[in-house]
Structure 1
């Protein structure tokens, strides 16, 4: 069997390419996020809050596709950094509401430098990156459908 016809050839696996690409891209973010005191998952949470604040913890988890066990410690760290507040909702005491602090809002200005820096580090055109984003969005939707029962 040649590598071109081997269904188990490592370099033909979508999962392998996605895994390597993901680690590589997140690695590019690390030195840019470090001065802000953020990890990549924390940065994603801040992006969601800058776009949609206020959010319940449940809503934030849905947007980030993270479970409560993963999201809760992440939010505690962001609160410890002084970027967010978590408080019980006045409408529903069971729900935690997440809002940005003034420092969290200020951080957005610094974070606006990150996307152009990533584009520059990747050395890809905006058209290529938009095409990649669209393809990955289709993969995400396909996997979501595949995981649905029935």
Structure 2
């Protein structure tokens, strides 16, 4: 059903469709992560630390698209539960670089398999060429928007 009148036609808005796809992806990811005792933010934090050990709270917050305060609470919980470790004192400045523990790595392996299953389902109706085209198009959109932010 198409909305007519002032504004944009949501049925033809690429931005709205991207937001809808993002929401559907997050919902599907939350569903497969919940039985593992994780949220998407929890998973994102572990994944970022696996790829870039030693990130600070601020860097993790930016990478996971949450506030520094939210990330700080998550990191405290992950540290208490044995998924990450941070030094008692900052080696430089105020930042406490976080690293995955063996328990964090094991948990991440399980979560990665679950998240990968969601991505496979999401891309199931697309050929490899269509997937590559979608990847290029989305990458271009992100680049264009970020370039516009730099000039603002």
TM superposition score normalised by structure 2: 0.78
Cα RMSD, aligned residues only: 2.7
Q: Give structure 1 regions of 4+ aligned residues with deviation exceeding 6 angstroms.
A: none
Determine the C-alpha separation between the residues in 1 that align with 2:107 and 2:77.
15
Q: 1:64 to 1:134 in 2, by over 3 A?
A: farther
Aligned to 1:112: 112
Aligned to 1:77: 77
More strand by share: 1
Q: Does 1:138 align with 2:137?
A: no
Determine the C-alpha separation between the residues in 2 that align with 1:77 and 1:131.
39
Determine the C-alpha separation between the residues in 2 that align with 1:119 and 1:59.
25
| Farther off after superposition, 107-116 or 31-40 | 107-116
Q: 1:139 to 1:77 in 2, by over 3 A?
A: farther
CA offsets 1:74-102 (integer angstroms, 9 cap, x no match) = 32333343211233555314111111122
- In the TM superposition, residue 111 of structure 1 has moved relative to its aligned partner by 2.5
Unpaired segments ≥5 residues, structure 1: none
Q: Secondary structure at the match of 1:38?
A: coil
- In the TM superposition, residue 104 of structure 1 has moved relative to its aligned partner by 0.1
CA contact 1:56–1:95 (8 Å) conserved in 2? yes
Q: How many residues get paired?
A: 147
